[in-house]
Amino acid sequence: PAKVYTFSHKMPLSAMLKFSADIILLINNKMQVLDANENAISVLGISRQNLLGNQIRDISSPLIARLSIPEIFDEIQAKGEIQREFCITLDNLERHYRMRLIPTVFDNMEEGVTIIGEDITKQIQFAESLMISEMRYRAIVQDQTDIICRWRPGGEITFINESLSRFIGVPGDSLSGENILSYTHPDDIPQSKQKITCLTPSTPTISSDIRLLDKDGTYHWYQWNTRGIFDHAGALIECQSVGRDINTERQQAQQIRESEERFRMITDHSPFPISIVDDAGNFLYLNEKFSELFGYSLADIPTERDWYSLAFPELYEPMEVLPAQNDDAGYPLAREMSPCVRLVTCKDGTVRQINFFEATLNSGEKFVVYEDLTQKQEAKRLQSVLATIVNSSNNPIDLYRRLTSQSRPT
């Protein structure tokens, strides 16, 4: 239906046109310009005198040319109000306009058309910028080697990237509405649900290790970093999760744990004392045989310095008064034990003859094995004494007395 525009007693129509931010042109049924606001005159690039009363189709302007006059007037007669959107070049710049052409009956009952043009350049530029940004984001997401999934708080999937699609063997567009928990290991579902409850606007991210089912039916460990998306009221409306494959790391960690357990089992049952020292000189490990033979525990000797001061008091004490010119000053024996034999003072005060075997591990830690030579050396000593006595005596009674005296503890 046609719209009727009348002059106001309080404000003339020309004044109303003046305050509009849009382009406004009033055209009669003869296609003559009856009136135009300042914005229209500025965009058309023509003076008011040369515009008013002239045929609209005779005006040389990119804006008027795009309206396809007079054909568009026939369309208005047939359809009523119509709308066009187009881009033109003004002053070497692209400008986007949304034009509305409205059938109008003026106060003198003359029919015509009101043209209202809105400059939507900024809107279009923003929409294009947003679209480009979304395309870049989608390209980045799709090219990620990590798996990415967006889902609602109930678990319904809204998006997955190509990496996740390949992993589970399902096209992303066919997963919409499916639940991410259906691909989660049953043992990890309670943890997943509990973690979701921790998402708040003040704590929008969580991290968790969760197993995911692949297309072959095998579960893999993934480290998930999930970010919650909240509405203006602070309600959780969506989650985005990025998963990093840690399956190999978990397997390696398990192998290391198993290897350490085997190593500890072997060393704990070793007939020889064993210790492990880090590169800072701190004891990391003493086996049971070490404490059994020497009497010291980790609480007694947390460092090599403590161990040396107790095991070699006659050698270590003088070293304490030397100026510490380098890190090795307090460890005079460390470089002499590969291997070497020394007398070690035990916690109970006994002295044992110990052979030290030291090796440096790939990690930089020192692995030391201690062999107790005390009994062997005593046996050799008695054997030597026996040979000397036998060779120096021809009297059986005297031989017996001498053997008895030599075998008594000193």
Segment 181-222, tens digit of pLDDT:
999 999 999 999 999 999 999 999 999 999 999 999 999 999
Give the range among 4-8, 47-51, 365-369, 372-376 with minimum mean pLDDT. 4-8
| pLDDT value, residue 70 | 80
Residue 151 lies in a domain: yes
Domain boundary, last residue among 249, 282, 312: 249
pLDDT of residue 239: 94
pLDDT in tens, 80-130: 899 999 998 888 889 999 999 999 887 777 888 999 999 999 988 888 887
For residue 258, the model assigns a pLDDT of 87
pLDDT at 263: 82
CA distance 246 to 211: 10
The pair of structure tokens assigned to 63 is 């804006």
- Please report whether residue 54 resides in a domain: yes
Does the residue 79 lie in any domain? yes
Q: Higher model confidence: residue 361 or residue 215?
A: 215
The answer to whether residues 59 and 110 belong to one domain is: yes
User: What's the pLDDT score for residue 45?
Assistant: 87
pLDDT tens column, 294-338? 999 999 999 999 999 999 887 755 444 333 434 444 444 444 445
Residue 13 belongs to domain spanning: 3-124
Q: Do residue 297 and residue 381 come from a single domain?
A: no
Token pair listed for 210: 């969760």
Q: Is position 48 within any domain?
A: yes
Overall number of domains in the chain: 4
Contact of 311 with 331, CB cutoff 8 Å = no
Task: Give the per-residue pLDDT at 6.
Answer: 52
User: Is the same domain home to 21 and 116?
Assistant: yes
Residue 131 domain-assigned? no
Residues 331, 387, single domain; the answer is no
| Predicted pLDDT of residue 202 | 94
Which among 175-179, 250-254, 406-410 has the top mean pLDDT?
250-254
Say what percent of the chain tops pLDDT 70: 79
Is 265 a residue whose pLDDT tops 50? yes
H/E run at residue 66: helix 62-66
In terms of domains, do 93 and 21 share one? yes
Q: What is the reported pLDDT for 78?
A: 86
What long-range pairs does 173-181 form, CB within 8 A, spacing at least 24? 179/154, 179/155, 180/149, 180/151, 180/155, 180/156, 180/241, 181/155
Q: Which residue has the higher pLDDT, 380 or 55?
A: 55
- E-strand stretches of 134-193: 147-151, 157-160
Under the banding of pLDDT at 50, 70 and 90, the label for residue 400 is: low
pLDDT category of residue 21 using cuts at 50, 70 and 90: confident
User: Do 367 and 279 share a structural domain?
Assistant: yes
Q: How confident is the model at residue 330, as a pLDDT?
A: 43
The CATH number of residue 155's host domain is 3.30.450.20
Residues 354 and 274 reside in one and the same domain: yes
Angstrom CA distances, 193 to 30, 196, 198, 202, 235, stand at: 72, 5, 9, 19, 16
Q: Give a yes or no: residue 137 inside a domain.
A: no
330 falls within a domain: yes
pLDDT of res. 326: 43
Instruction: Report the pLDDT value the prediction gives residue 174, as an integer from 0 to 100.
Output: 80
Averaged pLDDT score across all residues of the chain: 82
Residue 137 has pLDDT above 90, yes or no: no
Structure tokens belonging to residue 250: 């978990």
User: Between 232 and 20, where is the model more confident?
Assistant: 232
